[in-house]
């Protein structure tokens, strides 16, 4: 089993826990209930493994980055992987409904399953699950909380019309 490294990154939406191997990013976790997430047993703290991830996240929060270019390895089922691939095609500053994602992966009746896969996305922000909204346009569940989801969408909306 590969060694998992971790680091914390302070952002406008809270202190994120970053985790991955020496080669790829595997998880980004939001604080829960105001408390920072804790690393799992056996993880080794080493911020140097996340220099590029941190740079790209800072650029994203400063409105200078619209699409992440990082080696990723989110762990999930084949169905979850298909949903997460579809999420990466949602343009910066845009939103899609769960139904639109279900249709995009060729499973138009799997709206609830798409919602469940979206909720299990281990790499929020980088795999932009915050861009998925209810069919009626409402903000729906988000691992970082609806305030964070709203903040991310507002951040993107404020920079979407500007050239990067």
Strand arrangement of the beta sheet that strand 14-20 belongs to: 25-29, 14-20, 5-11, 44-45
In this structure, what are the phi and psi dihedrals at residue 29, rounded to the nearest 5 degrees? Answer: -125, 135
Active site residue 129: yes
Strand 5-11, strand 132-133: pairing: unpaired
Q: Which of 19, 28, 129, 133 is catalytic?
A: 129
Question: Checking DSSP bridges between strand 25-29 and strand 5-11, what pairing results, if any?
Answer: unpaired
For residues 4 and 45, the answer to whether their CB atoms sit within 8 Å is no
Active site residues: 129
């Amino acid at each position: 089993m590969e060694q998992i490294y971790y680091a914390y990154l302070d952002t406008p939406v809270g202190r994120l826990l970053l985790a991955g191997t020496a080669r790829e990013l595997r998880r980004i976790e939001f604080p829960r209930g105001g408390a920072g997430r804790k690393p799992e047993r056996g993880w080794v703290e080493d911020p140097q493994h996340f220099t590029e991830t941190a740079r790209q996240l800072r650029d994203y929060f400063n409105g200078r980055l619209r699409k992440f270019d990082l080696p990723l390895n989110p762990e999930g089922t084949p169905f979850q992987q298909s949903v997460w691939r579809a999420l990466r095609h949602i343009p910066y500053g845009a939103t899609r409904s769960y139904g639109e994602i279900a249709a995009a992966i060729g499973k138009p009746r799997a709206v609830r399953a798409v919602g469940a896969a979206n909720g299990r996305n281990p790499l929020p922000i980088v795999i932009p699950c915050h861009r998925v909204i209810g069919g009626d346009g409402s903000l729906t569940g988000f691992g970082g909380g609806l305030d964070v989801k709203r903040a991310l969408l507002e951040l993107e909306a404020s920079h979407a019309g500007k050239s990067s």
